[in-house]
Structure 1
Amino acid sequence: MLSPQPPTDALVTPLIPGSGLLPLAFDEVTLTFRQFSPLNGVSLRIASPGITAIMGPNGAGKSLMLRLLGGLIEPVSGQVRFGEQNRVPRGHIGYVFQTPVLLRRSVKGNLLHALKLAGVARPERKERASALLKMGELHHLADNPARSLSGGEKQRLALLRALACKPALLLLDEPSASLDPQATFLIESLVSRASRAGVKVVLISHDQGQMGRLADEVVFVHKGRVLEQCPADVFLKSPESRQAKAYLSGQLLLD
């Protein structure tokens, strides 16, 4: 007799509450590359659970902020804090890049490898991987080479792989850029499900429609500075800064 599949929420409920890493804080964070400082004294406090979106024009520093949260780079000065910690909580952060990076393994093999690295016991890995693939509607492709998937399928697999280890914090860099509406819907459904299960989500997006559907809060960044931070519905309807108004109306931001 087959064992029952774990409830969907149980598949993505974080091992530690996402709220346990809050507030996420940048304290006077500066990044310098040669003579250029794309972030210069940035201070930011993200204290609310749910989904926080970072918006702004290209080159504003959004991806650098996400990489700082993920521990992929370190500031020249200042601190990035997670609650009372000033170090990235190892094993409790999931990261999905705009262009998914997949192993030369099967679809299911990518998940099994992630679960192994996370220390999940061997008897549990296959069951959890199968349940995740079903949740992401990729179960019928389980034995296919991961790199043979379509763009939307690859991104979904990358998201499932990030969620497989039950992170408290999920970082997403434009997770549905250039995807069609159906693929975008499936990605957004997974992100919403993770958020409802208690995962704190920080994502980058240029899609105002997506922000209206997903985000609870928006942080607007321009030229390495945080210009606004407010509830998503307030930002999308009545931004305060001149730059945010221009950005939302589709104007080119030159200063």
Structure 2
Amino acid sequence: MRDRSSILPLDVRSVVFHGDGRRLVDGVSFRLPAGGLTVLLGPNGAGKSLTLRLCHGLLTPSEGQIAWAPGADGGTRRHAMVFQKPIMLRRSVEANVLHALAAAGVAGPERRERCRTALERFGLADRADQAARLLSGGEQQRLAIARAWALRPELLFLDEPTSQLDPAATRQIETLLTGLVAEGITVMMSTHDLGQARRLASRVLFLHRGRLVEDACATDFFAAPATSEARAFLAGDLIW
């Protein structure tokens, strides 16, 4: 039975988002249950990043509704987001995590313990006193994920988290994400990297021109896509 306090499933119902005089997200509907790693897949401009921001609450739908599980505590935020280019405060690695915890209202002693655990969990304990903005790209992304993880989210959104990283750093992030899912954190991420989607996804939401044109388990999607748009994308023929 689902924990009554859980924020999941998340229901996205006929969501529209207007921008530049057109529908950038056009009638998107899906349900996100607890568990697994859902990938938002599609060409550039398909609406992947906008959909994540709408789900996280950074943007308000022009039409439609985004609803957390019935009975979920709307005042308790248990979802976090990591961006393509993580925002690093002009502080140390440790101070970046402590600031996020303080902003979330975590008390001093627990704040220190959560910070220490997060830095150890993500291989950054030896960088605690270093300026966060001097970390490599891969280390900054690990810090961003560590900072989000310290907040104990039930759901983690990631917007193309490895698009600016080299292959080694990308593999590190992918391993971390697999570990988070194994811990019971639900993950939803955008990517245009087909190889990454094949490696990580349990479910694929395929977007094209702001519309959700396919929603399938990852195995079925890659083996036999049901739509012409998805088939063209997998073949490398769909640009826009």
How many Å separate the matches in 2 of 1:74 and 1:250? 33
CA deviation after TM superposition for structure 1 residue 239, in Å = 0.8
Aligned to 1:219: 205
Write the letter of the residue equivalent to 2:136.
Answer: S
Aligned: 1:155 with 2:144: no
User: Where does the alignment leave 5 or more consecutive residues of structure 1 unmatched?
Assistant: 1-15
Deviation at 1:89, TM superposition (A): 5.9
Contact 1:69 1:88 survives alignment (8 Å): no
Task: Give the aligned partner of residue 179 of structure 1.
Answer: 165
Residue matched to 1:241: 227
User: Which of the numbers 60, 63, 70 marks the counterpart of 1:84?
Assistant: 70
* SS, match of residue 152 in structure 2: coil
In the other structure, the counterpart of 1:117 is 103
Deviation of residue 87 (structure 1)?
9.3
State percent identity of aligned pairs: 45
Between 1:177-186 and 1:104-113, the stretch displaced more is 177-186
Q: CA deviation at 1:45?
A: 2.0
Counterparts in 2 of 1:202 and 1:146: CA distance versus 1, 3 Å: same
2:190 corresponding residue in structure 1? 204
TM-score between both structures, scaled by the size of structure 1? 0.87
**More displaced, 89-98 or 167-176?**
89-98
- Pick closer, same or farther for the CA change 1:123–1:22 going to 2, 3 Å: closer
Mean Cα displacement is larger for which, 106-115 or 128-137?
128-137
Instruction: Determine which of 177, 181, 193 is the counterpart of 1:195.
Output: 181
Q: What is the RMSD of the two structures over their aligned residues, measured on CA atoms?
A: 2.2
2: CA distance between counterparts of 1:220 and 1:17? Answer: 29
Alignment of 1:53-132 (within 5 A): 53-84=39-70, 90-132=76-118
C-alpha contact 1:115 1:165 (8 A) present in aligned 2: yes
State the 1:46 CA deviation: 2.3
Q: CA deviation at 1:128?
A: 2.2
Bigger shift: residues 151-160 or 82-91: 82-91
Paired position in structure 2 for 1:9: none
1:143 aligns with 2:92: no
Tell me how far 1:84 sits from its aligned partner: 2.2
Residue identity matched to 1:221: L
Unaligned runs of 5+ in 2: none
Return closer, same or farther for 1:34/1:90 CA change in 2, 3 Å cut-off.
farther
Letter in 2 for 1:76: S
Decide whether the 8 Å contact of 1:81 with 1:87 is kept in 2: no
Shift of 1:54: 0.5
